[in-house]
């Protein structure tokens, strides 16, 4: 069996391109305080809430789980409140990013530059908002950051959140490539499930919030991308001729 060429790298954003979750957590708590709520999410709770993809969805899940008997808000008022909370949270997050508290994870910028120099396409597949992506990437890559990416999928283009593969299927269509010619990069089990459901081999770089997730279906699980280059990715990406009974521990090891 001949190897399919590696033509594109598809990146998740939060936790993958940058370790943003601690800043998102801070921004959620800032929004709650500004809105006058007595909510406070700590690390342990936030790790659990990250099982829910999407900031608005996360807040709704928490609200309904903690206050199931609340009747004073109708469905529209509840949606309006969550939307306002999300606006406040997004503003707090943007301000934090612009202040320089977030940077790309080790090896990410080097891999992006190597891919661009080798004419390997880049794409983003995330469930976060376009505003959050722009804030991070503009700070990390400069005003022309969008020119580095062939396609970008986000909460505005893919409303069905991970672990549904919608955003990855959209990116494959935009890239005009089969999944066998692409690699995905994720940090969470929901992201891994979304990518593999779209047929993509996936590299996982966990964060402290996702280290306990099940990554059994990942191509590799790495602490970061610091020592990873295109040559290594090509080697890992090459399909192997094997049956389930003949897969060796070396091939399945992270």
Six token digits for residue 192: 């891994």
Which residues are 18's β-sheet partners? 14, 104
CB 19 within 8 A of CB 224: no
Helix, coil or strand: residue 183: strand
Whose structure tokens read 């459901």? Answer: 197
CA-based nearest residue to 8, from 172, 217, 244, 215: 172
242 contacts: CB under 8 Å, gap ≥ 6: 251
- Choosing from 12, 19, 164, 187, which is the catalytic residue? 12
- State how far the Cα of 33 lies from the Cα of 36, in Å rounded to an integer: 5
Q: In 10 A of CB 231, how many CB atoms?
A: 10
User: What are the C-alpha distances in Å from 184 to residues 67, 133, 172, 203?
Assistant: 37, 17, 11, 6
Active site residue 38: no
CA-based nearest residue to 201, from 186, 214, 187, 218: 218
- Choosing from 14, 19, 164, 187, which is the catalytic residue? 14
Active site residue 187: no
Helix, coil or strand: residue 66: helix
Q: Beta 121-125 vs 201-204: how paired, if at all?
A: unpaired
214 contacts: CB under 8 Å, gap ≥ 6: 189
Residue 9, H or E segment: strand 8-11
Catalytic residues: 12, 14
């Amino acid at each position: 069996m001949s190897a399919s060429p590696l033509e594109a790298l598809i990146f998740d954003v939060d936790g993958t391109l940058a370790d943003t979750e601690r800043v998102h957590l801070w921004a959620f708590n800032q929004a709650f305080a500004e809105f006058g709520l007595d909510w406070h999410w700590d690390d342990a709770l936030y790790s659990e809430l990250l099982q829910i993809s999407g900031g608005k969805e996360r807040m709704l899940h928490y609200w309904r789980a903690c206050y199931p008997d609340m009747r004073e808000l109708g469905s529209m008022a509840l949606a309006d409140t969550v939307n306002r909370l999300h606006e406040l949270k997004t503003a707090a997050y943007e301000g934090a990013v612009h202040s320089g508290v977030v940077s790309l994870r080790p090896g990410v910028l080097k891999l992006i530059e190597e891919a661009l120099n080798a004419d390997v396409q880049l794409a983003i597949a995330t469930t976060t908002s376009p505003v959050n992506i722009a804030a991070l990437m503009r700070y990390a890559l400069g005003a022309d950051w969008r020119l580095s990416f062939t396609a970008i999928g986000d909460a505005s283009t893919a409303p069905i959140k991970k672990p549904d593969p919608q955003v990855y299927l959209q990116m494959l269509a935009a890239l005009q490539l089969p999944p066998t010619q692409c690699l995905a990069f994720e940090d969470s089990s929901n992201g891994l499930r979304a990518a593999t459901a779209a047929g993509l081999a996936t590299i996982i770089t966990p964060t402290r919030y996702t280290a306990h997730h099940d990554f059994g279906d990942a191509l590799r699980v790495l602490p970061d991308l610091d020592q990873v280059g295109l040559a290594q990715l090509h080697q890992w990406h090459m399909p192997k001729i094997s049956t389930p009974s003949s897969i060796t521990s070396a091939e399945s090891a992270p």
